[in-house]
């Protein structure tokens, strides 16, 4: 287990075509069902200290206890998603740790010397997330810290439970943001 804030809970992949990526995970890898949010509504988003408005689609599914997130950015607003695509192409962009004590873990990450790349909020104050650069140590996979002290935890648990006995039916399940 990681001593950062517990175990890695999610791997996030940046893709250019989220529908094709979901189909691959379903048909080739047998992972699903996917909970798909076509247009994520963010309360706010800041990239490298500057407010931005990325238009992002995400899809979530589990393989065991590990959540898989697919992310497609649909506009050109600056973000670490587009930075990753430009540098590396599609692939594993972040590993996420989930936190019930977000502010303390956020402050600890900064105190450890991690550099904030982008951050935002979805669904109120308990929906914060932060992505930290790793280029100074490791060129590629970003560290995400995600607040799960609110409703997000229950939704993530619903996604996990749906995968346990998934029989392949209804592989993509739209979610309103």
Closest of 61, 77, 57 to residue 16, by C-alpha = 57
Q: Which domain holds residue 109?
A: 8-167
Ranges of the chain with pLDDT below 50: 1
**Measured CA distances, 111 to 107, 114, 115 (Å):** 6, 7, 10
pLDDT tens figures, 40-50:
999 999 999 99
Q: Is residue 86 part of a domain?
A: yes
Counted domains in the chain: 1
What CATH number should be reported for the domain holding residue 17?
A: 3.10.180.10
What the block records as the tokens of 99 is: 């936190």
pTM of the model: 0.95
Q: Is residue 157 part of a domain?
A: yes
Q: Is residue 101 part of a domain?
A: yes
Q: Name the pairing type of β-strands 44-47 and 115-121.
A: antiparallel
pLDDT tens figures, 108-144:
999 988 899 999 999 999 999 999 987 655 566 799 9
Separation CA 39–CA 59 (nearest Å): 11
Q: Is residue 2 part of a domain?
A: no
Q: Is residue 172 part of a domain?
A: no
Q: Name the pairing type of β-strands 91-99 and 142-147.
A: parallel
Q: Is residue 69 part of a domain?
A: yes
């Amino acid at each position: 287990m990681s001593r950062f804030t517990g175990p890695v809970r999610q791997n996030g992949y940046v893709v250019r075509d989220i529908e094709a990526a979901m189909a691959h995970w379903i048909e080739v890898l047998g992972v699903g069902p996917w909970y798909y949010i076509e247009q994520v509504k963010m309360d706010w988003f800041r990239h490298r200290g500057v407010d931005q408005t990325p238009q992002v689609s995400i899809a979530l599914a589990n393989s065991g206890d590990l959540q898989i997130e697919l992310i497609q950015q649909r506009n050109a607003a600056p973000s670490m998603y587009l930075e990753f695509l430009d540098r590396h192409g599609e692939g594993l962009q972040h590993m996420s740790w989930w936190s019930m004590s977000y502010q303390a873990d956020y402050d600890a990450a900064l105190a450890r010397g991690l550099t904030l790349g982008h951050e935002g909020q979805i669904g109120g104050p308990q929906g914060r997330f932060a992505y930290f650069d790793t280029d100074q140590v490791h060129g590629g996979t970003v560290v995400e810290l995600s607040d799960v002290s609110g409703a997000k935890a229950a939704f993530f648990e619903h996604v996990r439970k749906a995968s346990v006995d998934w029989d392949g039916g209804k592989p993509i399940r739209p979610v309103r943001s």
